[in-house]
Structure 1
Amino acid sequence: MAKAKYVLAVDQGTTGTHVSILDDKLRVVGSAYREFTQHFPKPSWVEHDLEEIWATVEQCIRRALKDADLEGKDISAVGITNQRETTGLWTRGDGKPLGHAIVWQDRRTSEHCAKLREQGEEPRVRQTTGLVLDPYFSGTKLSWMMEHVKGARKRAEKGDACFGTIDTWLVYKMTGGLVHVTDVSNASRTLLMDVSKLQWDEGMRNLFGVPASCLPEIRGSAEVYGTTKGMRGLPDGIPISGMAGDQQSALFGQACFTPGESKCTYGTGAFLLMNTGDAPVFSKAGLLTTVAWRIGDKTSYALEGSSFIAGAAVQWLRDGLKVIKKASDVEPLAASVKESGDVVFVPALAGLGAPHWRPEARGLFAGIDRSTTVAHLARAALEGVAMQIHDLAEAMRRDSGREIPSFKVDGGASANNLMMQFQADMLGTEVVRPQNLQTTSLGAAFLAGLGAGVWKDTDAIRRAWKVGKVFKPKMKPEARERYLTKWRRAVERA
């Protein structure tokens, strides 16, 4: 009897790190999770400590191995998926971070983006990178670091500083500082890569003042980048062989391999992606053109709509307003009232993303009166997240010319039945939730397995994907239109 093979997937997210171990039948046999600190040094600034992130990765690997009753030597391959646009900078020799990483939610470069738009740069940026000029992406964050972090530009110009999104940081650490790479899906989120040529673009580097010597090598999404060296929990020599940004990894984990297939991940933010095939589709409705993955010599692209706040709205209710003690309390609280009444919540706590792209927008509760309770606020918060996704889906329909016959969902917040039912009602289409909500980790594991030869093709993941629950639209058209009218008015005011 052949010995089982195991793949370890690191899902490094915005608020925590999740590590899963899957066997060669794609069954989860062990897992671990750990949150880490969010730093808010100024209003609209969000930062992470790269060393703390690395510590959570090593801790979770050891805990997941213990949970699976395995040893490090049992692992055949390692896959990485990550929060994407978060921008780090560290010294090449000793891997010491040059300050905190700037998180994708951070808005400190709003004025820089506005200035570039006023100079007429956005059409060139969009045509080259598939993205828009927004603080969300890495380019202006890295530009800010070059100007404000002591010694950063001088080190970068000398080749003594490494830029990277979180995937790059983790591979660097896992290989003992020997490998400085990123994959095409993460590179496509930086404002620095030509989305058609899959290469760093000199014009974009010059626009943002980024030295070429600090950039990682761009690689595919399923290949061996290097092997482990000097890690706690894993022996030396294990191939790191799969890598994709978290949303592209979830698209892969949802088995959306055919053009037109779509998914929405509800994590800290919410992200809707549609596979558009082997050529980039440029949006006319404020969506993003992004690389989904590259396997061998084949590249797949996607259209993406991003909502910056989803699960983060529930965290805010818990940690900021303190109306709930734990995240899971929000659904029973929201369900204790039949409807939100006149209350509407626009979750623009980090600006509005696609299709609005208004970084100056701020969160808004509207329609509050003396009858409003915390239950109404909780329900409106869940509905506000779903309304943002409605706007993204409508934009995607217009851009792609395709209907979305069913809507695959995943991520922690997709476990909220009340919100998923409301989502189906607003979209007017079925919302399909898989049995395994950790499709981001599943995608990373499968890419790593492909890169290391554990699996030959994508047939295995299609067989592993199973429906968990289907939410069918129930709301009457006139009620749906009332919700949409309230929402549009509130968005105008945010």
Structure 2
Amino acid sequence: MAILALDQGTSATKALIVGDDGQVIASASAPLEISHSQVGASTAKAEDMWQSIITAAKAAIDSDGFKKSKQKISAVGLANQGESILAWDKKTGTALSEVIIWQDSRSSEYCTKRQDKSDLVLSKSGLAIDPYFVAPKILWLKEFLPNLSSQAVITTTDTWLISRLTGAYVTDRATASRTLLFDLHTKDWSQELANIWQLDIANLPTLINNNQIIGEINHPDLLFLKNIPLAAAIVDQPAALLAEECFTQGSAKCTFGTGAFLLVNIGDKPKISKNGLATSLAWQINLKSTVSSAYYLDGQVFTAATAIAWLVDNQFITNANQIDSLPDADSVITAPGFAGYGAPLWKPNAKAAIAGLGLHHTKSHIARSVVNGIAAQVADLLTAITQDGVSVSTLKVDGGLTQSNTLMQMVADLAQIDVELYPHPDATAIGVANLATLAINPTLTLADLKPASKGAKNFSPKWSTDQANNYLKQWRKLQLVTSDLT
């Protein structure tokens, strides 16, 4: 019995095949091109996203590792980007728009007009009114495409992909909790919240639990998966939270991908942040005769790998591997708000800024200051979590940028916390594979899940508390000065 886990991410779709023993048998990846514009647009072509699913899945299935294992695929799980949307024809599955990526800020005006509803929205949805989330994007796209037919719908990307895979019109509750349309307390769509965005919840997909058999895959592009059940669906970040065994209150992880996303488990009841963090449902899963739920506080660094890509594109460094050979920043400080700021500031139109430059500084000093700025944002989020009364003793980390010892050490230094590297680069895919395993083996519990691999690398603070606080004080001054630049 093997599970095919599909992680449809911002810049690529990853496919992992996880075997009986919890180990990764095979993996593959297919890129997805994202376009950014000066007006805040971040988009991808919908058919490119679909093709990335096909390409990655087929490559994993055709790999020598899977063939040599002599195992068969028993189920498929799907993880999604969470806050990315598109318009599509519900009858034919045809995409009617580009994918509006979570980084897209063009709906910020719609958010500004609704700030008087902030307290209500926060108390019910756990989220700030911000273009990062789904509802304002839906409203913006509806007005951008006024002539959509009666059978057109606008949903998060998971619903479109699941419909193409199985014919079902559904979304999972964890993804729904990122929409501004979902009541955390009832775990259902809220017409009161939808009214704020002039939407009707009758048009929204049916809500499902995260380890639920949705239907059998039956699409001509995926004949090699024909009749295999799609048995799990979840938004990417809580999938990684589950993979990293953050099952108890105060256990936290940060995924360093296109952005950096820090989540901390707060237990089975929602806790609304008083310090600018978002609250969402991590998972609702069927376990034997019960249903188990967990919530989390989270904060976002909108540009992590994309900030490093900016350094490469503008020839500050030649590639990401060069990060660990950079010198000390030598008093240069960067607030890398290239795509604005999420929690705790919620400044979608903010810009990046660099300060402290002298004639003796070089591109390398600036590059290192950008790396430090990413770490500073993560430290800031941990401060907000502490202010909300949640104690975090260790931060588990995953994602491509965790290969940088410099970045991980800087996180430990500025946050004054131990950092534990997850031993596999694809925690999201492993998390959704675990959910699919639970779906087809209903007698299992979370404790029965087998770890993907063993061994981890740890980073402990080398800076003093005073040294970290002094740096963050200067960094926050720069961030605040530039957060309202447009």
Q: Same fold (TM over 0.5)?
A: yes
Letter in 1 for 2:345: H
The answer to whether the aligner puts 1:288 opposite 2:278 as a matched pair is yes
In the alignment, what sits opposite 1:360?
A: 349
Q: CA RMSD in A?
A: 1.8
In the alignment, what sits opposite 2:296?
A: 302
The answer to whether the aligner puts 1:247 opposite 2:258 as a matched pair is no
DSSP 3-state at the match of 1:298:
strand
Letter in 1 for 2:378: I
- Residue 326 of structure 1 and its aligned partner are, at CA, apart by 2.9
Give CA deviations for 1:321-369 in whole Å, capped at 9, x if unaligned.
133333323332x2xx1x2112111111111111111122111111122
Going from structure 1 to structure 2, the CA distance change for 1:312 and 1:329 (only over 3 Å counts) comes to same
- Residue 49 of structure 1 and its aligned partner are, at CA, apart by 1.2
- Residue 307 of structure 1 and its aligned partner are, at CA, apart by 1.5
In the alignment, what sits opposite 2:75?
A: 77
The answer to whether the aligner puts 1:235 opposite 2:225 as a matched pair is yes
Q: How does 1:89-168 map to 2 (within 5 A)?
A: 89-117=87-115, 120-152=116-148, 155=149, 158=150, 160-168=151-159
- Residue 420 of structure 1 and its aligned partner are, at CA, apart by 0.5
In the alignment, what sits opposite 2:57?
A: 61
Contact 1:161 1:214 (C-alpha < 8 Å) held by counterparts: no
2:254 to 247, 250, 264: 264
The answer to whether the aligner puts 1:439 opposite 2:414 as a matched pair is no
DSSP 3-state at the match of 1:248:
helix
Contact 1:90 1:161 (C-alpha < 8 Å) held by counterparts: yes
Q: How does 1:271-420 map to 2 (within 5 A)?
A: 271-296=261-286, 297-319=291-313, 321-332=314-325, 334=326, 337=327, 339-399=328-388, 401-420=389-408
Give CA deviations for 1:429-459 in whole Å, capped at 9, x if unaligned.
2101121131111101000111122871222
The answer to whether the aligner puts 1:461 opposite 2:454 as a matched pair is no
In the alignment, what sits opposite 1:489?
A: 477
Query: 1:25, 1:99 → 2: CA distance?
Result: 41
Give CA deviations for 1:176-214 in whole Å, capped at 9, x if unaligned.
xx1111101100001111111111111122211223343
Query: 1:73, 1:232 → 2: CA distance?
Result: 19
**Unaligned 5+ runs, structure 1:** none
DSSP 3-state at the match of 1:474:
coil
Contact 1:38 1:47 (C-alpha < 8 Å) held by counterparts: yes
Give CA deviations for 1:219-242 in whole Å, capped at 9, x if unaligned.
100010111002425332111111
The answer to whether the aligner puts 1:170 opposite 2:161 as a matched pair is yes
**Unaligned 5+ runs, structure 2:** none
- Residue 86 of structure 1 and its aligned partner are, at CA, apart by 0.5
Equivalent pairs counted in the alignment come to 475
Contact 1:258 1:275 (C-alpha < 8 Å) held by counterparts: yes
Query: 1:461, 1:437 → 2: CA distance?
Result: 18
| Segment drifting more, 346-355 vs 210-219 | 210-219
In the alignment, what sits opposite 1:479?
A: 467
Query: 1:413, 1:233 → 2: CA distance?
Result: 35
Letter in 2 for 1:309: T
Query: 1:147, 1:194 → 2: CA distance?
Result: 25
1:52 to 48, 51, 61: 48
Letter in 2 for 1:288: A
Contact 1:228 1:234 (C-alpha < 8 Å) held by counterparts: no
Going from structure 1 to structure 2, the CA distance change for 1:233 and 1:63 (only over 3 Å counts) comes to farther
- Residue 95 of structure 1 and its aligned partner are, at CA, apart by 1.1
Query: 2:450, 2:164 → 1: CA distance?
Result: 32
Contact 2:5 2:433 (C-alpha < 8 Å) held by counterparts: yes
Letter in 1 for 2:176: A
Query: 2:99, 2:337 → 1: CA distance?
Result: 22
Going from structure 1 to structure 2, the CA distance change for 1:392 and 1:356 (only over 3 Å counts) comes to same
Going from structure 1 to structure 2, the CA distance change for 1:422 and 1:233 (only over 3 Å counts) comes to farther
Contact 1:428 1:473 (C-alpha < 8 Å) held by counterparts: yes
Give CA deviations for 1:242-282 in whole Å, capped at 9, x if unaligned.
11111100000001111221111111111111111111001
DSSP 3-state at the match of 1:206:
helix
Letter in 2 for 1:163: I
DSSP 3-state at the match of 2:381:
helix
- TM superposition score normalised by structure 2: 0.94
Letter in 1 for 2:248: T
In the alignment, what sits opposite 2:11?
A: 15
DSSP 3-state at the match of 2:113:
helix
Contact 1:162 1:216 (C-alpha < 8 Å) held by counterparts: no
| Segment drifting more, 321-330 vs 445-454 | 321-330
- Residue 294 of structure 1 and its aligned partner are, at CA, apart by 0.3
Letter in 2 for 1:383: N
In the alignment, what sits opposite 1:422?
A: 410
Contact 1:254 1:465 (C-alpha < 8 Å) held by counterparts: no
Going from structure 1 to structure 2, the CA distance change for 1:340 and 1:455 (only over 3 Å counts) comes to farther
Give CA deviations for 1:55-76 in whole Å, capped at 9, x if unaligned.
0110011111122333999210
Going from structure 1 to structure 2, the CA distance change for 1:33 and 1:122 (only over 3 Å counts) comes to same
- Residue 42 of structure 1 and its aligned partner are, at CA, apart by 4.5
- Residue 460 of structure 1 and its aligned partner are, at CA, apart by 3.4
DSSP 3-state at the match of 1:69:
helix
Query: 1:216, 1:173 → 2: CA distance?
Result: 14
Letter in 2 for 1:30: A
- Residue 92 of structure 1 and its aligned partner are, at CA, apart by 1.0
Letter in 2 for 1:328: N
- Sequence identity (%): 34
Going from structure 1 to structure 2, the CA distance change for 1:463 and 1:84 (only over 3 Å counts) comes to closer
Letter in 2 for 1:331: D
Letter in 1 for 2:156: T
- Residue 110 of structure 1 and its aligned partner are, at CA, apart by 1.2
